[in-house]
Amino acid sequence: MKKSMFTLIISITMAFPVAAETLTVVIKNVESANGYIMLVILASEQEFDGDIEAIASMKQRSLAGDNTFTVGNLPEGDYGFRIMHDKNSNGELDSNFVGMPTEPWGFSNNATGTMGPPGWSDVKFSLSGKATQIITLN
């Protein structure tokens, strides 16, 4: 019984290898050290649309100049991310009276939309091994 259980566990482990991929995001030329840089990692279009919770999110104090996030232990697959510089530390992307953001923001692939945010197909990228994306905030 013990031998057959051990064989089953080994077989399952070999059939479904677990990859630990690493994503590095470099945000270039952040204007000020005010507030936080917030990064949200998205693993599906449903996460991108806000229908389900994102796979990961994090924030760090802003630094004037370049800011870097490194996210490890991600399974191989398709991802996207969004970034904002929350200058006033209120946890929101502030906007003006017509809905245009008044704080710096960005997406993976440096994607931008027309008359709104980009779509999932614009921000999606494949992660296999180590990857670095260099982002300039809008």
pLDDT of 40 strictly over 60: yes
Q: How many CB atoms lie within 10 A of CB 5?
A: 9
Domains plus CATH for the chain?
19-136 (2.60.40)
| pLDDT band, residue 88 (cuts 50/70/90) | very high
Which H or E run includes 38?
strand 36-42
Hey, which bits of 3-137 come out as E strands? 21-30, 36-42, 56-61, 65-74, 77-86, 105-107, 125-127, 130-136
Q: Which two tokens stand for residue 36?
A: 């936080």
Comparing C-alpha atoms, which of 88, 109, 91 is closest to residue 42? 109
pLDDT range class, residue 20, cuts 50, 70, 90: confident
- Band of residue 115 on the pLDDT scale cut at 50, 70, 90: confident
pLDDT in tens, 44-59: 999 999 999 999 999 9
Average pLDDT over the chain, rounded to an integer: 90
Of 44, 39, 43, residue with least CA distance to 25:
39
Element (H, E) at 130: strand 130-136
- In eight-state DSSP terms, residue 112 is -
Rounded Cα–Cα distance for residues 103 and 81 (Å): 17
